[in-house]
Amino acid sequence: MGMTGFWSTVSLLGVGLVFGLKHALDADHLAAVSTIVSERKSVRSASLIGVVWGIGHTISLLAAGIVVIVLHVEIGARTAQVLELGVAIMLIGLGANTLRKLVRGARVHVHVHQHGQRAHIHVHVHDGSPEPSPHTHHGFRIGARPLIIGMVHGLAGSAALMLLVLTTIPSPLLGFAYVLVFGLGSIGGMLFMSALVSLPAHLTANHFARANVAVRAVTGVFSLGLGAFMVYQIGVAGLFL
């Protein structure tokens, strides 16, 4: 590979990284992840959710890359719309679940954690879900939900990405490298956005319990409303006309 080819490759991968970072800012991505992040009181835990979402997103893109680049299977516009409709339904479910937890009876209580000779107090908002272990600081465990959400988003976004890969990248190996760098960009972008979105919940969790409930309600309404709008836009105005 000559210097021209080397810099062309670097430029292409750089574009993939930037597109991945920008991709994390899509409204449907933020709406889905915010419903989980708003339940977290730790910025570090919320950031980890963004990383797990990005990993799931990248897994789906790499799987789509195998299907499209290696097996030469074309992802049609109608298939892409069906996948996007799946994302919309998922957003409605996530938003409705968040609101259901709050309506079911979010309650505030205070309890003490003991670490050696040092004790510290936490004020928490609970929604009737089973209590995690006291050593997890109320939900530091991540679970599979953000991974699955990321995978669904990755599948829905694969058509446009794969079209770009197929039309501009002649080498399958370079195509997979582009997808991987794009995925790394989306991981970094969602890590940052998850931390940023979690700040209102983090700042209100221990001192402003009612404001914390309001923050969670906003994320639920946003996810539910965006999902309903997408269902209309894709399912009613697009897919079935």
Report the pLDDT averaged over residues 41-60: 90
pLDDT value, residue 90: 95
Q: Is residue 149 part of a domain?
A: yes
Q: Do residues 162 and 5 make contact, with C-beta atoms less than 8 angstroms apart?
A: no
Q: Is residue 8 part of a domain?
A: no
Instruction: Please count the structural domains in the chain.
Output: 1
Q: Is residue 16 part of a domain?
A: no
For residue 35, give the H/E element and its range: helix 27-37
Within 10 angstroms of residue 211's Cβ, the number of other Cβ atoms is 14
Q: Is residue 39 part of a domain?
A: yes
The one-letter code for the residue type at 178 is Y
Q: Judge whether residue 240 has pLDDT over 70.
A: no
Report the pLDDT averaged over residues 125-153: 64
pLDDT value, residue 135: 41
Q: Is residue 26 part of a domain?
A: no
Q: Judge whether residue 201 has pLDDT over 60.
A: yes
Q: What is the pLDDT of residues 95-112, one digit of tens each?
A: 999 999 888 865 544 455
pLDDT value, residue 215: 86
Q: Is residue 3 part of a domain?
A: no
Q: Judge whether residue 24 has pLDDT over 50.
A: yes
Where in the sequence is the domain holding 48, given as residue range(s)?
32-239
Report the pLDDT averaged over residues 147-161: 83
pTM of the model: 0.79
Q: Is residue 20 part of a domain?
A: no
Q: Is residue 4 part of a domain?
A: no
Closest residue by Cα to residue 195 from 57, 55, 33, 58: 33
| Range list of β-strands (E), the chain | 107-115, 118-126
Mean pLDDT, the chain, rounded, equals: 79
Q: Do residues 179 and 61 make contact, with C-beta atoms less than 8 angstroms apart?
A: yes
Q: Which two tokens stand for residue 95?
A: 């938003």
Look at the block and give the residue holding tokens 């879900």: 129
